[in-house]
């Protein structure tokens, strides 16, 4: 438990460094020599490098990893094509709302993205994807993945809301504050999602244990012999 706690603290510090502290410093000290747009582009570099590093380190060559890598590439392309600092922020709002719209569609068609994240995680633990998918679509488990999908949707709306509010009220100068506020909000939602994933793992364990007990009872039933 102590090692896990230290590891989590270490990851939080790395997130803070690469997603908030370094981008904020680059933005603050790079605006004057490079201009708003270039400084904003440069501020995204630490996060991109860190994301690629984590992607390669965790070897997430699956649905989750491909989504992370794909969204990063799309986001970088959008940033480079934006042309101005303010347009770059607005384009990221639109892109975030697009992802949120996709989450809504997946929720409606009952294909929650968190379920496939869980399948990838179970696969890394040695469980076959087909078996995990069959298990996670069981009635007593599937509903929880839909709830987690709702949290994904709310998170997307909140992140967009924070950005739009600060941009409309304070303009481009609020970009540094956006980095901090959105990182804090991200941690809050990450905590909620981690708690929900932990709870659903308990639900899954109880379900599989009950299923195993039922199978054992069937095996142990005495054979009835009729004359």
- pLDDT, residue 168, reads 93
Is position 226 within any domain?
A: no
Residue 97: CB partners within 8 Å, gap ≥ 6? 156, 157, 160
Which tokens belong to 226?
């009729």
Q: Mean pLDDT throughout 37-66? A: 76
Please report the DSSP string for 183-198 in residue order: HHHHHHHHHHHHHHHH
Q: To the nearest whole percent, how much of the chain has pLDDT over 90?
A: 33
Residue 2 has pLDDT above 50, yes or no: no
Is position 227 within any domain?
A: no
Confidence of residue 210 (pLDDT cuts 50, 70, 90): confident
Is position 6 within any domain?
A: yes
Q: Tokens 């060559």 map to which residue?
A: 61
Is position 47 within any domain?
A: yes
Count structural domains, the chain.
1
Q: Can you give the residue range of the structural domain that contains 129?
A: 2-218
- pLDDT, residue 18, reads 83
In order of 12, 53, 97, 185, 199, the CA distances from 28 in angstroms are 22, 25, 27, 21, 41
What sign results for the dihedral spanned by CA atoms 62, 64, 67, 71?
negative
- pLDDT, residue 217, reads 67
Q: Mean pLDDT check: name the lowest of 21-35, 138-152, 209-223.
A: 209-223
Q: Mean pLDDT throughout 135-144? A: 89
Can you give the pTM of this predicted structure? Answer: 0.76
Is position 93 within any domain?
A: yes
Computed over every residue of the chain, the mean pLDDT equals 83
Max intra-chain CA distance, the chain: 97
- pLDDT, residue 94, reads 96
Residue 61 has pLDDT above 60, yes or no: no
Is position 164 within any domain?
A: yes
Is position 79 within any domain?
A: yes
Residue 221 has pLDDT above 70, yes or no: no
Tell me the range of 8-22, 57-71, 153-167 where mean pLDDT is highest: 153-167
Q: Mean pLDDT throughout 211-221? A: 66
Is position 191 within any domain?
A: yes
Q: Mean pLDDT throughout 159-178? A: 92
């Amino acid at each position: 438990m102590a090692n896990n706690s230290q590891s989590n603290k270490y990851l939080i510090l790395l997130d803070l460094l690469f997603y908030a502290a370094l981008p904020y410093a680059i933005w603050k000290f790079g605006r004057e020599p490079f201009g708003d747009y270039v400084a904003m582009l440069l501020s995204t570099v630490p996060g991109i490098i860190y994301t690629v590093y984590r992607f390669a380190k965790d070897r997430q060559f699956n649905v989750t990893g491909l989504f992370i890598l794909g969204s990063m590439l799309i986001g970088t392309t959008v940033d480079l094509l934006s042309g101005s600092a303010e347009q770059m922020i607005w384009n990221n709002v639109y892109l975030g709302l697009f992802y949120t719209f996709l989450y809504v569609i997946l929720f409606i068609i009952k294909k929650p993205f968190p379920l496939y994240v869980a399948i990838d995680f179970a696969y890394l633990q040695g469980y076959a994807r087909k078996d995990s998918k069959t298990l996670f679509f069981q009635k007593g488990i599937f509903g929880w993945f839909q709830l987690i999908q709702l949290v994904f949707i709310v998170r997307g709306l909140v992140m967009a809301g924070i950005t739009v509010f600060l941009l409309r009220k304070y303009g481009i100068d609020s970009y540094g504050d956006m980095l901090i506020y959105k990182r804090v909000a991200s941690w809050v939602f990450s905590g909620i999602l981690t708690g929900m994933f932990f709870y659903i793992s308990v639900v899954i364990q109880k379900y599989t244990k009950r299923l195993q007990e039922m199978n054992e009872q069937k095996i142990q039933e005495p054979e009835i012999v009729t004359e």
